[in-house]
Structure 1
Amino acid sequence: MRGPTFWRSRSLQPLKPYVCGDCVSRLGLRRSSQNAVAGSNDAAKSWDEQAQKTRAGDRKSLLTILEERGYVKDLAGDRNALDKLLTDKRIGAYSGIDPTAPSLHLGHLLPMMVLFWMYIYGHKAVSIIGGATAKIGDPTGRLISRQEMDRNTRSSNLVSLHNCVRGMWKSVERYAERHGYPKDKAWSKSIQNNSVWLGKLNIIDFLSDAGTVARMGAMLGRDTVKNKMAQGDGMSYAEFTYPLLQAYDWWHLYQSGVQVQIGGSDQYGNIVAGIDLIKHLTPRPSTSPETKQLSGPFGLTVPLLTTAAGAKFGKSAGNAIWLDKTMTSPFELYGFLVRSADADVERYLKLFTFLPLEHIAAVMAEHEADPSQRKAQHLLAREVVDLVHGTEEAQNTQNQHTFSRRPNLQSLQAEAENSKDSLNRLYLPQSLVQGKQPARILYHAGLAKSNSDGTRMVNSGGAYIGSQTSEQEAATEGELEFRSLKGVTSSVITEMMEKSNVLVLRTGKWNVKLVEVISDAEFEQKGLSAPGWEEFKEARDASSS
């Protein structure tokens, strides 16, 4: 038996120069570092270009956008200085939520929307979850102290709220891209738990840092303290120090470049406490040179939202509207928003969507022409469900509301047109519908993965076609009645198409497609495509050659 050879055959390619593993790692790190520097330079160049446009008046500043949309109630700090800061450099901003419940509710969304706008405009966004401060409870605006929460409930809330905030950020990035803000590599966000730093804070250090700044006269003069002591159940020392703990949060974040705190209108006093602490601690010798060079802290509060009737926004019959779908379903969220008063809906569209103001104005003009259609309310409901739960959930929820009202073809078409990029309206060429079996039409319409999948849906009774219950001439007048596609032949569909070129197909309870059938030539002229269209054209061309 021939022994193994240690010589490379001449027929093989010559050996590449040997490079040791450590060198490979160093080379890889060097390339990675070079790529990072190049990316950072590109981001800086892009930022400078946008800043120049803003200074030249060719582009609105971020603060101007926030003001025009109604986000700004009060600013802590000079308005022009903040406007310049947001234009000139990328900074950090944060808003916080204590885990007093397992989910965000609709009331939390307003300060978060400011954070989302800052994020898509290139600033670092930080969501703080108050794992430590929740143990005390913010007394702001309360006469009765929060009931003490047991450790297990608090821990469970912390995990659930973190997942809710993380899911919200993912949904916001998708929503922003749909509205013309594709994700940029320079965007930066994080979710942090303040127990990480407050849990390590020594009581002596806390008192020497934050305690020496707080003056008793100012703290006792706050409305929250006076009202709770005079009209409520008194104020504990822990509650009294809550603003200082929130201030310490900001000091911790400020040292990493977070210069803006965003909060509700009731948080102005707590925000000012943070500004005072930062200004007191910044000059200390132990503060880093980078922190000392920052231009200072700024606060922004959003307005307290009430409905035209004076009720607090985000509450339904006294109950919170949650953003966790297991606590408030998308259907309930949609229903709550679609019931918004005419006097409120324009303001809500500006605050809770990324829709351009021009688009909102156009929708309001249509709405005012016929308020009974509630076009603005349906747009608001769809956009917010899209923002919170995603586009597919928004479409399904809209369909649920539509079909809970026994719709007609006219209402379906109106809602499809009202959706900016509707998932439930499409065109199909005549050749993919005329004379075709229902299963194949389902495939071409994107309701089935394949012809065999469509056959399975039809045979199992899970696919339907809508037809008018009225014999009126106007095809859009009568209510739609859905019948199973099982037993429906291609000739029946052809007869239906003689009355209208629009087919209404449905799979399951709510997955609906409005299919407008057009000529093959028009379909190609529009540059459209559909499942199976390319294969059909190839077969057609082959048979004609």
Structure 2
Amino acid sequence: MLLSRRPQNLFICHRLLSRAHYSTRLPNVVTDLKNRGLIANTTSPDIVSHTESPTAIYCGVDPTARSLHLGNLLTFMGLFHFHIRGHQTIALVGGATGSIGDPSGRNSERVPLERDVLDKNVAGIEQQVHRFFHNGALYAERRGHGNVQVATPKVLNNYSWFSSMTALDFLGSVGRYARVNTMLGKDSVRSRLETTQGISFTEFSYQLLQAYDFWYLYKNHDCRIQLGGSDQWGNITAGIDMIGRRQALLDEQESSPVKPYGITIPLLLTSTGEKFGKSAGNAVWLDKSMTSVFDFYQFFMKTTDNDVGKYLSMFTLFSEDEIKDLLDEHKKNPELRQAQESLASEVTELVHGLDAVHQAKVATKVLFGEDISNVTGQDIIKAFEHDHRRFSTLEQNKVIDFGIDQLATLIKATKSKSEAQKLIKAGGMYLNNVRVTDPRQKLTSTDLIDGSVCLLRVGKSSYHAVHIK
């Protein structure tokens, strides 16, 4: 892959600055999401008129891992667009439903998580959601949306209302309003019934838990919309059905109850049609200790020209006109990958913050062998400190005035000193992006960038940033 080795041109800088006067009267959120390719389906066209005034919307995520991934981010982008328009957003972490397991999109039953693992995952995701909205607020402000009055996002855990519910409570307050024939008709259930494994009663009941979530938020938080991936359609409609049945039985005629709505977001797929997620083994995590900022940034840098326009619409606040202008400029010199660089910078800023964009660009300079004369040692440390594959810390007395072959062995870039010496003789080792030619060369204090860091490359692509204390 070719990477631009010079800064984005003046056109892109102008586009970034021009967003300061972006209109605060944003288009209807549902209409905008449709135009951005962020809506797969809605339960009613009336949702457009409903969202013309403030409403509350929730999106749930089960804590099956300690971090969200890009597939979750796509759904949260929908929530984010509601947030910057002043609607009340609710992120629901499934401390209860996560212990059951959603059968949607799966051919086999999930392995249940231990409660302590589940609790750690819940805590990690709750922190991540708060951080996403914090970074998102700063990102939106820098894109001209800072004067919109927004409600503070709520981050809730459904374990708080399910933990005290007995089996009899569940049957009486949840099961009573469900119809088995309707439940059997859900795609997630029907597809599993056609397999030899079938589906357990536990996973069969999952849709009831999620349906009750919608009802609980509807009654207690005035939530009127549920947002989810397109594989959540059955669970969302189950919630709408439960709300309708409970409202009818409660006979609340003193005022006409506001009806609930559902929105589904398209699933993010690979070029081969696979779902992005940890079960597919190709997850890009939002936790920088699991997917480094550099790898996160590079994921978007590797976007194909065919997909970059779509991703700019889905993952950024660029307007349709801005995206068109950017793509037109990109087509003049596609080898510079200006559209991909804008995409990678925008999404990295949204998820990890503005400083992370600088860190990612520093790491790109380092790992692609560019001129690092203007890169500081602290820049390198910040860029790689969460990347355990590429970052090491060593004591000065173990490496300074010792051979580079020892350095390579200590950071496990090579298995032994002899292997390191062979690589040097073959011209396959670089110190600070300069080829090492003498197998007996020693690392000295003058080799350290700002007296604290050095870079060792072994072969074509095995880079190591070493902090020398």
TM over 0.5: yes
Query: Aligned ranges for residues 245-394 of structure 1 at < 5 Å?
Result: 245-255=209-219, 256-285=221-250, 293-313=256-276, 318-394=281-357
Deviations 1:227-247 (A, max 9, x none): 212225221111111111101
For 2:226, what is the secondary structure of its paired residue? strand
Q: How far apart in 1 are the matches of 2:451 and 2:27? A: 45
Q: What letter is aligned with 2:63?
A: P
Give the CA deviation at 1:408.
Answer: 6.6
For 1:119, what is the secondary structure of its paired residue? helix
Q: How far apart in 2 are the matches of 1:193 and 1:373? A: 45
1:213 to 159, 177, 180: 177
Give the CA deviation at 1:366.
Answer: 1.8
Q: Quick check: 1:140–1:267 contact (8 Å CA) kept in 2?
A: yes
Q: What letter is aligned with 2:232?
A: Q
Q: Quick check: 1:100–1:134 contact (8 Å CA) kept in 2?
A: yes
1:103 counterpart = 2:70: no
Deviations 1:125-164 (A, max 9, x none): 0000000111111111111111121121111111111111
Q: Quick check: 2:37–2:313 contact (8 Å CA) kept in 1?
A: yes
Structure 1's unaligned 5+ residue stretches are 1-52, 413-423, 425-479, 488-504, 511-545
Give the CA deviation at 1:172.
Answer: 1.0
For 1:187, what is the secondary structure of its paired residue? coil
Q: Quick check: 1:316–1:336 contact (8 Å CA) kept in 2?
A: no
Q: How far apart in 2 are the matches of 1:317 and 1:95? A: 22
Q: How far apart in 1 are the matches of 2:339 and 2:78? A: 22
- Identity value in percent: 37
Q: What letter is aligned with 1:282?
A: Q
1:75 counterpart = 2:42: yes
Q: How far apart in 2 are the matches of 1:239 and 1:151? A: 18
* 1:469 aligned partner: none
Give the CA deviation at 1:396.
Answer: 1.6
1:149 counterpart = 2:113: yes
Give the CA deviation at 1:387.
Answer: 0.7
For 2:135, what is the secondary structure of its paired residue? helix
Q: How far apart in 2 are the matches of 1:506 and 1:74? A: 55
Give the alignment's TM-score, normalised by structure 2. Answer: 0.71
Does the C-alpha gap of structure 1 residues 232 and 144 become closer, same or farther in structure 2, counting only changes over 3 Å?
A: farther
Q: How far apart in 1 are the matches of 2:326 and 2:96? A: 44
Q: How far apart in 1 are the matches of 2:358 and 2:352? A: 10
Aligned length, in residue pairs: 362
1:176 counterpart = 2:140: yes
Q: Which moved more, 1:165-174 or 1:106-115?
A: 165-174
1:66 to 33, 46, 63: 33
Give the CA deviation at 1:508.
Answer: 8.1
Bigger Rg over Cα? 1
Does the C-alpha gap of structure 1 residues 286 and 186 become closer, same or farther in structure 2, counting only changes over 3 Å?
A: farther
Q: How far apart in 1 are the matches of 2:61 and 2:74? A: 12
Cα RMSD, aligned residues only: 2.9
Q: How far apart in 1 are the matches of 2:54 and 2:256? A: 14
Q: Quick check: 1:123–1:188 contact (8 Å CA) kept in 2?
A: no
Q: What letter is aligned with 2:248?
A: P
Q: How far apart in 2 are the matches of 1:313 and 1:211? A: 33
Moved over 6 A (4+): 505-510
Q: How far apart in 2 are the matches of 1:149 and 1:267? A: 21
Q: Quick check: 2:293–2:359 contact (8 Å CA) kept in 1?
A: no
